[in-house]
Amino acid sequence: MGGTTHSSTDPFPPLLDVSDVTRSFPGVRALSGMRLDLRHGEVLALVGENGAGKSTLMRLLSGVDQPDTGRFLLDGREIRPSGPGHARSLGIGIIHQEFSLVPDLTVAQNLFLGREPRRWRWFVDRRALDRRAAELVAELGLPLDPDAPVATLSVAHQQLVEIARALSHRPRVLIMDEPTAALDADEVETLHALIRRFQGPNTGVIYISHRMDEIRRVADRITVIRDGRYVATRAVSTTSTDEVVSLMVGRAVATSTAPAPTRVARRPGPVVLSVRGLSTRGLLRDVSFDLHEGEILGFAGLMGAGRTETARALVGADPSTGGTVEVRGRPARIRNPAEAAALGVGYLSEDRKRYGLLLDHDVGTNITLAALASRFATAGVVRRRAARTAAQGYVRALGVRTPSLDRPVRNLSGGNQQKVVLARWLARDCDVLIVDEPTRGVDVGAKEEIHQLLEGLANDGTSVIVISSELPEVLRLSDRVVVMSEGRVTGILPAAEASQEAIMRYATLRPENTGTPPPDRDAPGDQYRAGAPEPTAPEHGREARP
């Protein structure tokens, strides 16, 4: 697969030329020979799966991190951004997914944060600040009140403040990372209008998004990256959504969608956990699904689709605004994770350092934490020998590589840390185990061990929910796959019909276009498809593969 690229002897160099950029982290090659070219006056969409390397590339361009090899040329001249401020002064503006606004300050104060107009050197010239903020807002045609504290704005308007701030620096290259993730259709239109107004003959926009419909409207060309590598660039006018999706997931699909050799056909039993209409204030709308005994239910979706939020609301870690949960047919009111655990529902967070481990505590303490009261204590006094023996047993069974139980978990590798938090829930002996990104930051060997462990659990009758951003992992493990997009369930696919293409199609749906989300029917073999943009047989995608 080729792609439109330029040669370096081009008499008219592109606005931004990224060539042969490599960046490795211990154990991971995040970018390898990455390249792209942004032409003058164009909007270039950058697409790729989660973890394809988009964020790494952004970090390099914004100077937060430096490439190992490769170079960036702006108008043919090499630039080496050394930090966000430097990148900005070079003419590269970046709007991150996570806002960098100070909530308690006003819009005007945020717009000029760090470069406030001064008076007598030490004092903020408030009048000048207000005037310039008003000018900026008016010039960009934004519906913003410069005096409003940012905390009082909707997420969409906060996004606009962020964009206004980036534009106020008059960047040559504006990079937007998922700028519409929080916006509704009208606001997306406002944003696109803003991009068109910004765009001149000497500027360019890199637009990172998962939403093909928007890309088709706003972008001129699409560059696809995958696994840290450049894949292809296509003109929007000559490509199709199908082509782009298959380029995105094209990685060795032949091997990763094939059932893993160790896979045994599980025969899931009756419904253990039934969730109906789960909603939260922020994101989730009417999430419904069933989990069967001994089943592995995969949760797929793009960043921010609401998979983690579903798990957290389910176990009561975050408040929900509606919905019912039944555990083994009995209505359950779960207000906090302790109540969830008492019902046999355990949740392992995606962020094991923040929400999983007691980093300074030893392996034994970490393993026995969840089961201390229920299994390892008599009348509130810890039976230390029993706890230690059990912990030792899990260390051995899971192959946690640590010289002793007394080692602080901080000193273990990522894979071993992950096994420790898994062991914690095994010790608690749950009926339902929800694992969120169980192999993130874990090396290949440990990953395989964790996969086998999860499969073993399911074979022994534990019901497992696997939330993962890695489609091959979801496909490898799942009996069925729940696909979410923007806080809703857009499809529930049985393993036989789940392919990377099918999942990506549901994951990129805007739920507004799909009508009511599907009720999950009872039988595990049951299939439901939400209204996909075009009906697609699973074979379709396979034909497109090389």
Partner 1 sequence: MTATDTTDTVDHPARRGGLAGAARARLQQLLALASLLVIGAFFSVASPFFLTYGNFTAILFSTVVIGTLAVGTTLVIVSGGIDLSLGTGMALCAVVAGVLMVDLGLPLAVGVPAAILFGGLIGLVNGLNVTLLGIPPFIATLAMMLVAGGLALVLSNSAPIYFTDVPGYLDISTGNLVPGVDFPNAVLILLVAAVVAGLVLSRTVLGRHTYSVGSNEAATALSGVDVRRVKIAVYVLAGLFTGLAGILISARLGSAQPATGMGYELQAIAAVVIGGTSLSGGRGSVVGTLIGALIISVLNNGLQIMSIPQEWQNVILGCVILVAVYADMLRRRRRG
27: left (phi over 0), alpha (psi -120 to 50) or beta: left
- Work out whether 373 is an interface residue with partner 1 (CB under 8 A): yes
CA angle 35, 36, 39 (to 5 degrees): 155
Binding mask 287-326 for partner 1 (x = CB under 8 A): ----------------------------x-x---------
Minimum distance between the CB of residue 328 and partner 1, rounded to whole angstroms?
18
> What minimum distance in Å lies between the beta carbon of 380 and partner 1?
5
Q: In terms of CB distance, is 423 or 471 closer to partner 1?
A: 423
**Cα–Cα nearest to 342, from 367, 370, 377:** 370
Query: In residues, how long is the chain?
Result: 546
Q: Does 367 bind partner 1 (CB under 8 A)?
A: no
Q: How far is CA 222 from CA 246, 445, 461, 509, in A?
A: 13, 35, 45, 19
Task: Output 131 or 407, the one with its CB closest to partner 1.
Answer: 407
> Under the criterion CB under 8 A, does residue 360 sit at the interface with partner 1?
yes
Closest to partner 1 by CB, 198 or 425: 425
Which pair of tokens denotes residue 397?
């069974």
Does 384 sit near partner 1 (CB under 8 A)? yes
DSSP for 203-250 reads: -EEEEE-S-HHHHHHH-SEEEEEETTEEEEEEEGGG--HHHHHHHHH-
Minimal distance in Å, beta carbon 203 to partner 1? 43
Q: Provide CB contacts within 8 A for 302, sequence distance 6+.
A: 50, 210, 469, 485, 507, 508
- In angstroms, the CA 439 to CA 451 distance is 8
To the nearest whole angstrom, how small is the minimum distance from the Cβ of residue 279 to partner 1? 21
Which one, 395 or 498, has the nearer CB to partner 1?
395
| Residues contacting residue 415 through CB under 8 Å, at least 6 positions apart | 442, 443, 445, 446, 447, 449, 450
Distance from C-alpha of 175 to C-alpha of 61, rounded to nearest angstrom: 9
First CA to last CA distance, the chain: 10
Q: Which is nearer to partner 1, 83 or 399 (CB)?
A: 399
270-300 burial by CB neighbour count: b if 16+ within 10 A, else e?
A: ebbbbbbbbbbeebbbbbbbbbbbbbbbbbb
Task: Decide: 429 and 342 in contact? Cβ < 8 Å.
Answer: no
412/435 Cα distance (integer angstroms)? 20
Interface with partner 1 by CB under 8 A: which range of 55-63, 71-79, 165-173, 372-380? 372-380
Stretch that binds partner 1, among 24-32, 167-175, 401-409, 476-484 (CB under 8 A): 401-409
Among 87, 370, 471, 493, binds partner 1 (CB under 8 A): 370
Name which position in 60, 369, 420, 530 contacts partner 1 (CB under 8 A).
369
Size of the site for partner 1 (CB under 8 A): 47
For partner 1, which stretch binds (CB under 8 A), given 23-31, 87-95, 184-192, 404-412? 404-412
Helix (H) or strand (E) holding 276: strand 271-279
Least distance between partner 1 and beta carbon 488 (Å): 25
Asked if 114 is part of the footprint of partner 1 (rule: CB under 8 A), the reply reads no
- Applying CB under 8 A, does 394 fall inside the site for partner 1? no
Regarding 89 and contact with partner 1 (CB under 8 A), the answer is no
Q: Using the rule CB under 8 A, which residue among 449, 473, 486, 520 binds partner 1?
A: 449
- Site membership for partner 1, residue 385 (CB under 8 A): no
**Per rule CB under 8 A, is residue 349 in the interface with partner 1?**
yes
Q: Tell me the three state secondary structure of residue 502.
A: helix
Which one, 258 or 338, has the nearer CB to partner 1?
A: 338
Cβ contact 92:75 at 8 Å: no
**Binding residues among 327-346 for partner 1 as defined by CB under 8 A:** 336-338, 340-342, 346
Q: Which residue lies nearer to partner 1 by CB, 167 or 369? A: 369
Nearer to partner 1, 404 or 513 (CB): 404
Interface ranges with partner 1 (CB under 8 A): 315, 317, 336-338, 340-342, 346-347, 349, 354-362, 365, 369-370, 372-373, 377, 380-382, 384, 396, 399, 401-404, 406-408, 411, 413, 424, 428, 445-446, 448-449
